[in-house]
Amino acid sequence: MMTIYRGETKSWRLTVTLDGVAQSLAGCTLHARVKRQLEDDATVMAKVSTDPAEIQILTQSGATLGQALLHSVPVDTQDLDPGTYLLDVWLIDAGGAQVVLLPPHPLGVRRTVTELP
């Protein structure tokens, strides 16, 4: 389970591979969504790689081939109730194909002792 504390700034590194080989994300768009429950219509967090402050596709060569950073800033989680949410990540390639990179995966939102403004 991935975990974040309410109001925390955090980044997760995503690596896209096929049969263990890193795949270029050049020309791709990544989408990440968080919901309380799979059946919910509304998302509580949405990120897209067209805004590098949300999802940053790294330089697509060498050690960072196939990699992106999924960013969370305090406003994303500060008002969420503690508990387990679901996160998924999709890729849309240059040709328009839609691929699930991370099927619904548990995301734990935890409370802290200190609640910063």
At 23, which CATH number?
A: 2.60.40
Q: What is the pLDDT along the chain (117 residues), one digit of tens a residue?
A: 999 999 999 999 999 999 999 999 999 999 999 999 999 999 999 999 999 999 999 999 999 999 999 999 999 999 999 999 999 999 999 999 999 999 999 999 999 998 877
In a domain, 114, yes or no: no
User: Is the residue at 50 inside a domain?
Assistant: yes
Residue 10 lies in a domain: yes
Range of the domain at 71: 2-109
Q: How many domains does the chain have?
A: 1
Domain annotation covers residue 62: yes
50, 27 Cβ separation under 8 angstroms: no
Whether 63 maps to a domain, the answer reads yes
In a domain, 116, yes or no: no
Q: Kindly give the pairing relationship between strand 98-110 and strand 2-5.
A: parallel
81 within a domain of the structure (yes/no): yes
Tell me the three-class secondary structure of 15-67, residue by residue.
ECEECCEECCCCCCEEEEEEECCCCCCCCCEEEECCCCCCEEECCCCHHHCCE
- Domain assignment present for 7: yes
Note the pTM of the prediction, 2 decimals.
0.94
Question: Tell me, what's the pLDDT at 117?
Answer: 75
